[in-house]
């Protein structure tokens, strides 16, 4: 039930939906005052949330900073959270990734540098309905193609959200007491909630942020004044993550 509710909340936090509803109000409300207010609110939301400078500042404030590779210690295993593969039944003979693939590409780099010994990949089927192989198995296929021995890859295949990532990984690691020094790897915008969930589950991994949305601050006109459709969609993702963090706190998940 919680999984379905979280997906529903994702739609409710779409700024585009807010604008659409406000425009409908501006057309169909009987009160001229409220029609005008609805139109002004829609324009204001469009103006603010399409501004790339403001969007970037929000990302910079929320994302957890990167750790330089030269500062990295050595770890027994990297815990990789999934959510970076997609399902394409028309092309089942390959793995399809989306933005966020750095979640496993950067740990692979750490593995080649001798910074981590093994991978613990956490993530099941993220679809609301239908049957699909766990995302952790999809990432394992890629790591195997990259030359990582199967013996160095441990899978958790049942979790469907960040809370379950933490609790089910904690249960899995009880079977691997040799893995003591752990590194948690996920997207920078997702790290706050992830780290809090893993700490709540009794684990104290170091963190390694990847997949950054924030870029270097720029004061050029195209970043300060010109609207950007991608900024509008970025706000949707950021609002979803902030709401998720707050709800997890309220539920005691983190």
Scored b (16 or more CB within 10 A) or e, 83-119 reads bbbebeeeeeeebebeebbbbbbbbbebbeeebbebb
Q: Rounded CA gap, 237 and 162, in Å?
A: 15
Q: Rounded CA gap, 251 and 254, in Å?
A: 8
- The rounded radius of gyration (Å) of the Cα atoms in the chain is 21
Domains (range + CATH), the chain: 2-63+226-251 (no CATH), 69-210 (3.40.50.620)
In this structure, what token pair is assigned to residue 164?
Answer: 């379950």
The CA angle 197-201-207, to the nearest 5 degrees, is 55
Grouping H, G, I as helix, E, B as strand and the rest as coil, residue 118 is strand
Task: Summarize pLDDT for 23-78 with one digit per residue, the tens.
Answer: 999 999 999 999 999 999 999 999 999 999 999 999 999 999 999 999 999 999 99
Do the strands 116-122 and 182-187 form a parallel or antiparallel pair, or are they unpaired?
Answer: unpaired
- Kindly tell me if the per-residue pLDDT of 4 is higher than 80: no
Grouping H, G, I as helix, E, B as strand and the rest as coil, residue 32 is helix
pTM of the model: 0.90
Nearest 5°: phi and psi at 162? -65, -40
The CA angle 207-160-13, to the nearest 5 degrees, is 85
Confidence of residue 114 (pLDDT cuts 50, 70, 90): very high
CA neighbor of 238 nearest in space, from 227, 246, 228 = 246
């Amino acid at each position: 039930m919680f999984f379905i509710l979280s997906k529903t909340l994702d739609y409710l936090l779409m700024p585009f939906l807010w604008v659409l509803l406000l425009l409908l109000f501006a057309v169909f409300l009987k009160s001229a005052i409220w029609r005008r207010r609805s139109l002004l609110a829609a324009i204001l939301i469009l103006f603010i949330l399409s501004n790339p400078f403001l969007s970037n500042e929000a990302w910079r404030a929320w994302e957890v900073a990167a750790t330089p590779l030269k500062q990295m210690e050595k770890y027994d295993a990297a815990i990789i959270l999934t959510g970076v593969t997609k399902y394409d039944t028309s092309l089942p003979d390959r793995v399809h990734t989306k933005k966020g693939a750095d979640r496993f590409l950067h740990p692979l780099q750490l593995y080649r540098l001798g910074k981590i010994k093994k991978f613990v990949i956490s993530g099941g089927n993220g679809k609301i309905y239908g049957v699909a192989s766990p995302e952790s198995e999809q990432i394992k296929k890629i790591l195997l193609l990259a030359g990582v021995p199967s013996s160095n890859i441990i899978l958790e295949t049942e979790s469907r959200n960040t809370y379950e990532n933490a609790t089910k990984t904690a249960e899995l690691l009880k079977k691997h007491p040799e893995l003591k020094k752990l590194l948690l790897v996920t997207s920078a915008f997702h790290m706050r909630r992830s780290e809090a969930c893993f700490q709540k589950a009794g684990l104290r991994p170091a963190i390694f942020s990847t997949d950054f949305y924030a870029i270097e601050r720029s004061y050029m006109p195209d970043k300060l004044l010109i609207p950007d459709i991608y900024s509008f969609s970025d706000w949707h993702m950021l609002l979803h993550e902030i709401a998720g963090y707050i709800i997890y706190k309220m539920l005691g998940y983190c």
